[in-house]
Amino acid sequence: MTALAQSLVPASVPVPDAFEARTNATFEALMWALSRPGTVQTLPAPGMKGLVEALVDRECKVFCDDADLSDFVAFTGAALMPAAAADHAFMGLDRAEGLKNLEQIPVGSALYPDDGATVVAFARFGEGQKLRLTGPGIETSVEITLGGLVPGLWALRAARSRYPAGFDMFFICGTSVIGLPRSTLIEVL
Amino acid sequence: MAYVATRGGARAIDQAERLYRAELGQIDASRVDAVRRALPMLIDRVMGEASLYEPDLAALALAQAGGDLYEAVLLLRAWRTTQPRLAIAEPVRQEQLITHRRISAAFKDIPGGQILGPTLDYAHRLLATDVLQGRPFTPAPVTPAATAAPAYQPSLAAWQKAQGLVADPLRADVAPDAIPDLTREPLLFPAKRAHTLQSLARADTGGMLTLGYAAMRGYGNAHPTVNELRLAEAEVRVTHPRGTVFSAGRVKVSQAEVTSKGKSGQLSLGFCATLGWNEVKVISGATLDLNAAAAPKGSPVEEEFFLYHTEPVEASGFCIHFKLPHYVTFQSSLDALRGAKASAAPQSEQVPS
Amino acid sequence: MSIASLTKAWQPMSYGFLDASAKRELRRKMLKAIAVPGCQMPYASREVPMARGWGTGGLQVTLTLLKPSSVVKVIDQGADDSVNAASIRSFLSKVSGAAETWDTLAASLIQSRHRIPEERLHAGQILVLQVPNPEPLRPVEPNMSVARQMHADADYGRLWLILYEQIVRSGRIMEGAAYPSVVNGRHVMTPSPIPRWDVPKLHMAQHLTFLSAGREKRLYAVPPFTKVEPLVFSDVPFKVEDHGALTCHRSGVSGFYMNEIPQDNGGSAFELSDSHLGIKAIRKAEGEADRIGATWYRNGQLA
């Protein structure tokens, strides 16, 4: 390295601060959750706040139906929006109102599939509705059970999916996360 | 370890960089200062293409790159990437520009007057070779006008709009702090107006001239008349977190508006503005903007065509990337060629004995 | 709320060079890319301290993923010590503290230009391919807005047509590297200019692949266990390069993708394109303990 080049890079080995380490680990969990639908990945901290930190900022439009979390979202600079205009939705899907909101969530278009939103909701893993998943990220098929979700959720998801348009979902249970991208075919067993 | 002996990439690139930097020698503050003071036009050009207004950093980039413009712009863009966004300035309005030069070719005289300001337009371009003989060139002093031109000048297009000569373009209703920003989101087509103007502002001066000139020569559908060309300074007005709006400083800006007779019986306008004073760039850019509306797909005056191809960092980077090894892909093509040749060869070529 | 909670200590450079906002945008787009395999997602693409066309797209993805425990391998044309690979690798480790490796098996993250290593990548590994031109339709449609509409309509007829024309004209498909392939039965992507030899390695793989074009500002992904099928006609099968029978003159290994080295005598010698596989083979022959992992090809045939 020349003297000049040497002065351009940090002298010591860089160390991520707590925020960087946390958001990096959160994203890694989300990335593998979406890459291997149905597998349970581990978040560095329980709840949705970590996802907000890792993904959302002033470039985002966020739907959030939880007052406490809304304050946290607003702090990132993101615009709080109704479901129909959101690119990220942190929402309750344990009640009928959740279905109404999900009906509004943007699915993008064949021209711009990336306009389909990312939906984050709480669920209980290992109980409730049994689902069989097939599609990218799954070698043959995988079965999971997700509980604490409003009936009709999977029918609504199927009705609104027009691949490559659709929305992508993350379910959170404590520090565990399961991802269901729009590319996953879900069979309700 | 015989495999590695003939390679040694890490050492080679280190020494190659040293060889380049050795030629430039030590870079100190006085060199940077000299570059900044001696080459204001070049500094302006680099700041415009880098979309980073900081003359000292631009001078440093030029010194560090040894005057290679594309390298200097890349250095500044990469540095800009690392900077936080502290505030979003208020939009600059034409009538608030502190105007040094403002001319129109469309009218003999215009409201507010033709202000020549600083220009070499009418100078004889004679090389001052005396300087090399030890006789310095000292510019003659400027004699101030009896009455100074007003700092603020009205917009000519506003007069034309009032006359019904040009259509007032549809205004996109965007909050000032929500104006689409290319550095935060991708350029997609049809481009948002803000993206188009921002792209033009950041474009490569030479590339813009090439395509703008092609349009002027006849590869466009509209012949430009310079409606208004302006060199000015703009206040950068930002809002303090407490709510006060204040000026954080001034930046040099140039802008051009060109016009031609539109099909609707009104004048059409093309517009381009950039940081720094750079007349060739804004006239070329405005000409491209003027032509974009009716451009056929794939023509040099189509928005997608000229915005993609005048992006200096992308164009120059891609051009020099062809120096990288491509032997894997080349081998793949060779395989296809040989395969085709082998299957095309006649089965037997023996000469009968 | 305190002032301190709104600010942070000054640093000369963010961890991993990119600032938090750039990383968040990359993360959002990487998730969308995984959700719609093979579909090009537009992103802002920040300027990084390397020229466009030199791996800036791959670099942004890698920088977003890097953490101190990452082990990173960078190759160009299959070689770890190729000049640009060496430059990228040293930048990555300097800004992140990640460990560098040449060993495919040891890497958690592999950034590559034009090759996929010969040793099978395993679950948990991420391959980041640098992409010069992300648009497989460019040869038939240079206008990106029109090409986007064609992807939306799955209108790939003109791509099939050029393949057909090649067969008529040359007796075979003449595509070299960057062979257009259908992902998840829906989107045609260019796998980046990897040789045809490497395309089957993406099909139903264990690892996750990101493909990122910094200059063109597009990023797409092939998740694990995703179908990647080269465009072919049912009666004209996909053909990888005819390298299965070639032998590396340095390592004596045969059955992998080779670099051809023209010789003074008018002939050619061949050497392994995956340079570290060559090193491992030589070391092994010299009695050193070095593990060669399972390879995608065995005896020159896809295993």
Residue A11 falls inside a structural domain: no
Q: Which of B6, B324, B347 to mutate to test the interface with C (most CBs of C within 10 A)?
A: B324
Q: How far is B179 from chain A (nearest CA, A)?
A: 11
* Mean of all residue pLDDT scores within chain C: 94
- Please report residues of A whose CB lies closer than 8 A to that of C94: 9-10, 14
B&C contacts, CB < 8 Å:
177
CB A156 within 8 A of CB A22: no
* Mean of all residue pLDDT scores within chain B: 90
Among the partner-chain residues B186, B317, B325, the one whose CB lies closest to the CB of C52 is B317
Look at residue B82 in the predicted model and tell me its pLDDT.
83
- Please report residues of B whose CB lies closer than 8 A to that of C215: 314, 317-318
- Show the low-confidence residues of chain A (pLDDT under 70): 1-11
Sequence ranges of the domains in chain C: 20-225
Look at residue C13 in the predicted model and tell me its pLDDT.
81
Among the partner-chain residues A1, A5, A59, the one whose CB lies closest to the CB of B185 is A59
**What is the amino acid identity at position B309?**
H
How many domains in chain A?
1
pLDDT tens figures, C244-262: 999 999 999 999 999 999 9
* Edge-first strand listing for the sheet containing A79-80: A41-42, A176-180, A168-173, A118-122, A88-90, A61-64, A79-80
* The two three-digit tokens of residue A111, written as one number: 């021209």
CB C13 within 8 A of CB A14: yes
As a three-state string, the secondary structure of chain B is CHHHHCCCHHHHHHHHHHHHHHHHCCCCHHHHHHHHHHCHHHHHHHHHHHCCCCHHHHHHHHHHCCCCHHHHHHHHHHHHHCCCCCCCCCCCCHHHCEEEEEECCCCCCCCCCCECCCCCCCCCCCCCHHHHHCCCCCCCCCCCCCCCCCCCCCCHHHHHHHCCCECCCCCCCCCHHHCCCCCCCCCCCCCCHHHHHHHHHHCCHHHHHHHHHHHHHHHCCCCCEEEEEEEEEEEEEEECCCCCEEEEEEEEEEEEEEEEECCCCCEEEEEEEEECCCHHHHHHHHHHHHHHCCCCCCCCCCHHHHHHHCCHHHHHHHHHHCCCCCHHHHHHHHHHHHHHHHHHCCCCCCCCC
Q: Which residue of A has its CA nearest to B65?
A: A4
Task: Judge whether A59 is closer than 8 Å to chain B, CB to CB.
Answer: yes
Task: Judge whether A5 is closer than 8 Å to chain B, CB to CB.
Answer: yes
Q: How far is C217 from chain B (nearest CA, A)?
A: 7
Q: Which residue of B has its CA nearest to A3?
A: B18
C96/A14 CB distance under 8 A: yes
A59/C149 CB distance under 8 A: no
C13/B189 CB distance under 8 A: no
pLDDT tens figures, C185-225: 999 999 999 999 999 999 999 999 999 999 999 999 999 99
CB C50 within 8 A of CB B318: no
Residue A9 falls inside a structural domain: no
Look at residue B167 in the predicted model and tell me its pLDDT.
78
Among the partner-chain residues C15, C28, C225, the one whose CB lies closest to the CB of A137 is C225
Strands C99-100 and C71-76: parallel
User: What is the mean pLDDT of the segment spanning B332-339?
Assistant: 89
d(Cα A65, Cα C119) in Å, to the nearest integer?
A: 48
- Please report residues of B whose CB lies closer than 8 A to that of C115: 328
- Sorted by sequence, the CB contacts under 8 Å of residue B268 that are 6+ apart come out as B166, B222, B259, B260, B261, B262, B290, B293
Look at residue B3 in the predicted model and tell me its pLDDT.
45
Look at residue B4 in the predicted model and tell me its pLDDT.
43
User: What is the mean pLDDT of the segment spanning B307-324?
Assistant: 94
* The two three-digit tokens of residue C137, written as one number: 């339709």
Q: Long-range contacts of range B308-311, CB-CB < 8 Å, 24 or more positions apart?
A: B308/B187, B308/C144, B309/B207, B309/B211, B310/B199, B310/B200, B310/B203, B310/B204, B310/B207, B310/B208, B310/B211, B311/B199, B311/B202, B311/B203, B311/B204
**Residue B174 vs residues B91, B194, C25, C258: alpha-carbon distances, Å:** 11, 10, 22, 56
Q: Does residue B1 surpass a pLDDT of 50?
A: no
How many CB atoms neighbour CB B115 within 10 A? 17
Look at residue C4 in the predicted model and tell me its pLDDT.
62
CB C29 within 8 A of CB C43: yes
Look at residue B169 in the predicted model and tell me its pLDDT.
73
d(Cα C272, Cα C275) in Å, to the nearest integer?
A: 6
Q: How far is A150 from chain C (nearest CA, A)?
A: 24
Residue A7 falls inside a structural domain: no
Among the partner-chain residues A111, A135, A163, the one whose CB lies closest to the CB of C148 is A111
pLDDT tens figures, B200-232: 999 999 999 999 999 999 888 888 999 999 999
A35/C208 CB distance under 8 A: yes
- This complex has an ipTM of 0.95
CB C248 within 8 A of CB C278: yes
- Please report residues of C whose CB lies closer than 8 A to that of B292: none
What's the CATH number where A175 sits? 3.40.50.11310
pLDDT tens figures, C119-149: 999 999 999 999 999 999 999 998 889 999 9
Q: Which residue of B has its CA nearest to A57?
A: B184
User: What is the mean pLDDT of the segment spanning C84-95?
Assistant: 93
C184/A183 CB distance under 8 A: yes
Q: Which residue of C has its CA nearest to B182?
A: C44
B14/A59 CB distance under 8 A: no
Task: Judge whether B14 is closer than 8 Å to chain A, CB to CB.
Answer: yes
Among the partner-chain residues A10, A60, A136, the one whose CB lies closest to the CB of C226 is A136
Q: Which of B11, B13, B15, B17 to mutate to test the interface with A (most CBs of A within 10 A)?
A: B17
C97/A183 CB distance under 8 A: no
- Please report residues of C whose CB lies closer than 8 A to that of A135: 184
Look at residue C46 in the predicted model and tell me its pLDDT.
93
Q: Which of C40, C52, C95 to mutate to test the interface with B (most CBs of B within 10 A)?
A: C52
d(Cα A48, Cα B352) in Å, to the nearest integer?
A: 83
Q: What residue ranges in chain A does DSSP mark as E strands?
A: 41-42, 61-64, 79-80, 88-90, 118-122, 124-134, 142-147, 168-173, 176-180, 185-188
Q: Which residue of A has its CA nearest to C95?
A: A14
C174/B340 CB distance under 8 A: yes
d(Cα C33, Cα C39) in Å, to the nearest integer?
A: 7
Residue A2 falls inside a structural domain: no
Q: Which residue of B has its CA nearest to A59?
A: B184
A&C contacts, CB < 8 Å:
129
pLDDT tens figures, C261-270: 999 999 999 9
Look at residue C5 in the predicted model and tell me its pLDDT.
60
User: What is the mean pLDDT of the segment spanning C268-292?
Assistant: 93
Look at residue A11 in the predicted model and tell me its pLDDT.
63
Q: How far is A25 from chain C (nearest CA, A)?
A: 9
Q: Is C115 exposed, middle or buried (0-12, 13-18, 19+ CB in 10 A)?
A: buried
**Residue B310 vs residues A35, B204, B291, B313, B321: alpha-carbon distances, Å:** 37, 5, 16, 9, 17
Residue A52 falls inside a structural domain: yes
CB A138 within 8 A of CB A83: no
Q: How far is A114 from chain B (nearest CA, A)?
A: 12
pLDDT band at C3 (very low <50, low <70, confident <90, very high): low
Q: Which CATH architecture has domain C20-225?
A: 3-Layer(aba) Sandwich (3.40)
d(Cα A167, Cα A163) in Å, to the nearest integer?
A: 9
Q: Whole domain around residue A75: which residue ranges? A: 17-188
Half-sphere exposure of B329 (CA within 13 A, CB side): 17
Task: Identify the H or E element spanning C126.
Answer: strand C126-130
A164/C32 CB distance under 8 A: no
CB B301 within 8 A of CB B220: yes
DSSP code at position C17: B
DSSP code at position A78: P
* The two three-digit tokens of residue A28, written as one number: 């890694």
Q: Which residue of C has its CA nearest to B191?
A: C145
Q: Which residue of B has its CA nearest to C243?
A: B335
Residue A167 falls inside a structural domain: yes
Which chains lie within 8 Å of chain B at 3 or more CB pairs, if any?
A: A, C
Q: CA A19, A22, A27 angle in degrees (round to 5)?
A: 120
> Over the range B25-47, which residues count as b (16 or more CB within 10 Å of their CB) and which as e?
eeeeeebbeebbeebbebbbbbb
